Structure 1
Amino acid sequence: MKIGKKLIPIILIAIVASCAFAKTGGTEPPQLSTSKNQSSMFVNDEGINPVVKVVRDVRESVVQIKVEAKVNVPAITNPFFDDPLFKYFFPEIPREMQRKITSMGSGFIYEFNPQTREAYIMTNNHVVEKGKEGTITVTLADKINYTAEVVGLDPSTDVAVIKIKVKEGEKVTIAPLGDSSKLEIGEWAIAIGNPFGDVGLDRTVTLGVISAIGRSNLNFGTNSPIYQDYIQTDAAINPGNSGGPLLNINGEVIGINSAITSTSGGNIGIGFAIPINLAKRVVEDLVATGKVTRAYIGILPQEITADLMEAFDLSEVSGVLVAKVEKDSPADKAGIQVGDVIIEFNGEKVPNVSKFRIAVATSKPGVQVPVKVIRNKDTLTLHITLDVYPEDKLASTEKSTKADTNAGITVVSIDSPYARQNNIKADRGVVVSAVAPDTPAARAGIQPGYIILKVGNTEVNSPEEYNAAMENAIKTMKEKSSNTIVLYVQDRSKNEQFVVLRFNS
């Protein structure tokens, strides 16, 4: 590509921190002085730099995470090669191959049970998701290694919990959790993590500020979480920092470092962390049940613009406009109407669609919450009893009825509430709304939000067509004594590709 007057696009990349080589040369950034002549803003009442105190108190709670696994990848991606005639003449050509992967990341101990000696560690889903098929090794500050167990994974927020059982006498440092709702832009931010894997830069400390809050609609490729409310910081974050803590000046965790914006793959001063308040709600469910149960009200929310503010005679560009209400949904039963502008949900102000979705999703199903709306210039308070998000109902139904025969995929139509709520747009195919763990789909890397275009050579444009095509493909697979089915899919970055599902023989 010619670089004339064109701008080089900034690429958003998730830090799936593979082991990489680091360049350690170059000029070191200036460090805050701890001499007696330094400015008083950098010392506390005891004459200690507060950043130094935070590091002393919290640094040893940060762990290094190493994931080693073997994954099946297609050796060939053309479905023609699965034709029985081709297999007859070329039986020696491998259809699939195993590849060993090693990834590195960070995490932090947030809870410890001295009776059971179990230490619970927060990290990113994308750091440890392959650990279920392999081994997760956690290294503490004293270089002692432990094999970790996955407690729960949540790709929708990119939050995960793992745990280790430490030996008697092992020192365990716990990182205290803060309150990310109280963050102010411009506050100090301290990041601790393990950049660039095994090169010996463990527990690196970087300092910056909170650059922005509430960042959403960011595209990190196939690792893009559905629910986004990122803290932006200029504290240096590099590959390998994923899962490490972002701390305030009081030494409290305010976020989980997760991703960067970069033109080169390294830090340029734009990093993102998951707010700890969002993570707390997810972690609570992961520890209790291994999965997250989300709430649902059944509306299609629309962003308020300056024109809509004027048209609806609103006082500010804030809130969400109700563009559609699903029949018999919690919102419908509570009296929410198309054209209502929701300005408060459960006592909290609703600034935009992203915040609204997270507020609903992180609420508890079965609870009745007040919702304040503006309708025809009047302000009303309605009460909605939250239901379980449909993807959970569908997933549990699918698991109980078809888990022994199907691929582990639950699909919905492209015009379904799930697709609209998650801003998934397509003109063909079906949308993956849930993937059951330890199934052919999970092992192949299929994720919620993917669009399935074909099962084998059969196009599918409705859940009914998908189910029929999958049923037929499984029947044909058994008749031919095969154990693979090829899907043609579109991932969340809109890249189309063939994916091979391998069923147990």
Structure 2
Amino acid sequence: MDTPIRTSPSLLDRIRGRRLATTFTLLATLSVGILVGSVLTHGVSGKEQATVDSSDAKPLVIPSPVTLSNGFSQIVKQVGPAVVNITTDSLPKQSAVKKNHRGQRAPQGGNDDDQQQPGDMQDFFNRFFGGQGGDGDDDGGFGGERKALGSGFIVDSRGYIITNNHVVDKADKIFVRLSTDPDGGAPGEEGRPAHVVGVDKDTDIAVIKIDSKEPLPTVKLGNSDSAQVGDWVLAIGSPFALSKTVTAGIISAKNRSIDEPGPNGVSQSQFQRFIQTDAAINPGNSGGPLVDMAGNVVGMNTAIYTQSMGSQGVGFAMPANTIASVYNMLIGPEHKVVRGSIGISFQPALSSAVGRMYGFTNGVMVSTVTPNGGAAKAGLQPGDVIVSIDGRNIKDGDDLVADISARHVGTMVKLGYLRNGKQETANVAIGDRAKTYSDLAGDNDDNAAPQEEDAGQNKLGITVSAVPPQIATKTGTKGGVLVTTVRPGSFADEINLVKGAIITEINKKPVTNEADYKAIVSALKSKDDVVFVVHYPQQKNSGNSYVGGTLP
């Protein structure tokens, strides 16, 4: 029988044996560690879950409401309900009247009758307050629908609202949301429709109205002359569409002028003297109230200086006294502001050397005299220096403008002036500033047609022309006007009055030519029913077709 031979283990077997022993040792160590950790963790968990006696803890108590010393919240509760949010829609439009020389400044500018024209300041307003700005479409071509945002405040419980002209300028639709209306803006939820009562571009003030079955809350207008630099004020409005937003600051300065020069370097803001404030004003605040600590509106937020498209602590508000004066004229029968004029122009800033050479320290040196104006009829000449009004010494051109423009047309004023160093006086009749400088610019003859044509464009959204003889023969119509353009989204577009239609009657009144058409359209007012009798060139000897609707 064979006997097995015993041999010594190889090196590989020894290594394997030792590795296995080491592995078992490590596993045993880890198992002990896990067991100990579990016991310790169980002990800690037990401590955390133990019930703690909190019988000595005192519950928190919400204190009763208290009135803070600054009173801001009381002012907001008082004024806030009368502050509104305004949104506007501007539909695509194409200018049919080319710009002319209307409203150009007189040489040396700065006169007491200059009519403010859209320019750098208007672009400034539009850019920073969500106005219609960038009026590129006005020079031709159709643009897209534009929306604008602003604020306003109710001054009459029947629905009369004050805001900025640049908020509603060129708007086809205006909507107002009250503080009690839900925030929105979805189709059909824009707000209550409003219409323009009157505007004054010179002060950038507009009056609009909404219909309401119930009396609306109103603000209380204050006397802006009593406001002092350093007084606390609140600005209330809808910046960036955030309605009912309130910011606080102080009055930083008064009687501040924003000199936005026109093409010839002359300020275009002759009637704009602002209250400056550091209360935060942003796009959408425009037209909202600036309120003092008595809850009185002392100004209307109008403009800001900024390099960031937001508030940098330099805002401007139109004083309440100016607002009240303009408002009272805009709600009058003519719905416009009439300012007095003596028919002169002057250079607003003169070197002190000029005063020394011509022998005066305070006063206004006449640059031009309007033919047939009050000053011309009283004998004033270029080079005369006006130094007093009704015996009161005047300081400068702003003083002269403020006094004369506030006077009623047809009244008389006694001017004191210097001619060749000699004191003289003259009784001067106050004229209509707008008419005086329209005459000076020679616009009367060529302005009538564009103004009447604008009535058709603005109210109806159409332009018309005489009916060509061949079309009249084809349709068998006598007279009438041919619709040449229809603005998308306009009243005419909404009632399906199409391009190419021939209008022969409006509201039962015959339209035989363009003059008839313009006369009838000029008399139309908001909320009027308008019915057109039309014929279509595509249909020979077609009968009457009736197209109508209610003007917005």
Partner of 2:104: none
**In 2, Cα distance between the equivalents of 1:279 and 1:342?**
28
Q: 1:100 aligns with which of 145, 169, 175?
A: 145
| Structure 1 residue 246: Cα displacement | 1.9
Does the aligned pair in 1 maintain the 2:233–2:279 contact within 8 Å?
yes
DSSP 3-state at the match of 1:293: coil
Distance in 2 of aligned mates of 1:153 and 1:300: 25
1:137 aligns with 2:137: no
Counterpart mapping for 1:204-223 below 5 A: 204-218=246-260
Candidates 212, 215, 229, aligned match of 1:166 = 212
Q: CA deviation at 1:210?
A: 3.0
State percent identity of aligned pairs: 30
Compute the displacement of 1:393 (Å).
8.9
CA offset at residue 321 of structure 1?
1.4
Matches within 5 A, 1:230-241: 230-241=274-285
Match of 1:256 in 2: 300
Aligned length in residues: 356
Note the 1:410-429 alignment, pairs <5 A: none
Change (3 A) 1:58 1:327: same
1:124 corresponds to: 164
| Structure 2: distance between partners of 1:185 and 1:294 | 29
Return the offset for 1:167.
Answer: 2.5
The alpha carbon displacement at 1:377 in A equals 5.2
Aligned to 1:370: 414
- Give the Å deviation of 1:440: 7.0
Structure 1 residue 186 and structure 2 residue 186: aligned? no
User: Which structure's CA Rg is the greater one?
Assistant: 2
Q: How does 1:356-395 map to 2 (within 5 A)?
A: 356-375=400-419, 382-391=426-435
Q: How many Å separate the matches in 1 of 2:283 and 2:217?
A: 24
Shift of 1:201: 4.0
Q: Secondary structure at the match of 2:150?
A: strand
Match of 1:59 among 75, 80, 90: 80
More helix per residue = 2
Answering whether residue 324 of structure 2 is matched by residue 280 of structure 1, we say yes
CA apart distance, 1:231: 2.5
Change over 3 Å in CA distance of 1:53–1:98 after alignment to 2: same
For the structure 1 residues 393 and 332, does the alpha-carbon distance in structure 2 shift closer, same or farther, using more than 3 Å as the test?
A: closer
Q: Secondary structure at the match of 1:277?
A: helix
1:82-93 residue pairs with structure 2 within 5 A? none
Do the aligned residues in 2 keep the contact of 1:71 with 1:99 (CA within 8 Å)?
yes
CA shift, 1:195, in A, is 0.5
Distance 1:399 1:322 in 2: 25
Which residue pairs with 1:82 in the alignment?
none
- For the residue of structure 1 that corresponds to 2:79, the secondary structure is helix
The partner residue of 1:297 within 319, 325, 342 is: 342
Task: Work out whether residues 62 and 108 of structure 1, in 8 Å CA contact, stay in contact via their aligned partners in 2.
Answer: yes
| Structure 1 residue aligned with 2:93 | 72
- Bigger proportion of residues as strand: 1
Gaps of 5+ in 2: 1-64, 99-139, 183-190, 472-481, 486-498, 503-552
Report SS of the residue matched to 1:328. coil
How far apart, CA to CA, are the structure 2 residues paired with 1:49 and 1:190?
Answer: 12
Give the TM-score normalised by the residue count of structure 2.
Answer: 0.55
Which blocks of at least 5 consecutive residues in structure 1 are unaligned?
1-34, 37-45, 78-94, 113-117, 410-434, 445-473, 485-501
* Conserved 8 A contact 1:229-1:355: no
Contact 2:237 2:284 in 1 (8 A): yes
Work out whether residues 483 and 501 of structure 2, in 8 Å CA contact, stay in contact via their aligned partners in 1: no
CA separation of 1:68 and 1:333: change in aligned 2, threshold 3 A: same
* Residues 392-433 of structure 1: per-residue CA shift (max 9 Å, x gap): 8959x9899975xx3329xxxxxxxxxxxxxxxxxxxxxxxx
Deviation at 1:105, TM superposition (A): 0.3
- TM-score of the superposed pair, with normalisation by structure 1: 0.59
- The letter for the 2-side match of 1:149 is H
Once residues 438 and 345 of structure 1 are traced to their aligned partners in structure 2, the CA distance between those partners, rounded to angstroms, is: 44
Q: CA deviation at 1:124?
A: 0.6
